[in-house]
């Protein structure tokens, strides 16, 4: 079983750079921006909004899918460690992670001064460069 860690930070805070550095180690796979938060959100919302589910609500079976989502998604990835880059620190997503993720949750949060983030965007937009 792969060990999964989570990474999040503001845009321009170094997420892509750190992911690229980590991916140089063959035992580590750092993802691009992940689709798993959205997948977990949609699957969880089936319980509230899906007509077919409400006709035959089998919560335990759906919970089994959610609990095994990470293992299923990453089963064919090489390496022993996954660094999952997604918006997991939002309150709703973090609550889903706490409910369904089957291991200890470890999140690396990259921090950069907000003014430096804005300056970085302005530099990208500078037409004189």
- Residue 8, CA distances (Å) to 52, 103, 123 in order: 35, 18, 23
pLDDT tens-digit map of 1-49: 799 999 998 888 899 999 999 999 999 999 999 999 999 999 999 888 8
Tell me, what's the pLDDT at 127? 58
- The model carries a pTM of 0.82
Both tokens of 103, joined, read 């291991």
Tell me, what's the pLDDT at 50? 77
- Residue 57, CA distances (Å) to 9, 44, 98, 108 in order: 37, 12, 22, 36
Percent of the chain past pLDDT 70, that is, above it, reads 98
Question: Looking at the DSSP assignment, which residues form a beta bridge with residue 91?
Answer: none
């Amino acid at each position: 079983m792969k060990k999964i860690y989570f990474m999040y930070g503001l845009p321009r805070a170094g997420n892509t750079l750190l992911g690229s550095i980590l991916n140089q180690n063959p035992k580590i796979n750092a993802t691009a921006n992940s689709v798993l938060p959205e997948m977990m959100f949609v699957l969880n919302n089936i319980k509230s909004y899906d007509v077919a589910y409400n006709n035959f609500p089998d919560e335990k079976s759906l919970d089994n899918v959610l609990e095994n989502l990470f293992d299923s998604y990453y089963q064919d990835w090489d390496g022993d460690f996954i660094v999952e880059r997604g918006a997991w620190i939002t309150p709703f997503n973090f609550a889903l992670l706490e409910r369904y993720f089957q291991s200890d949750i470890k999140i690396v949060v990259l921090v950069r001064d907000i003014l430096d983030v804005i300056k970085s965007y302005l530099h990208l937009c500078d037409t004189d460069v």
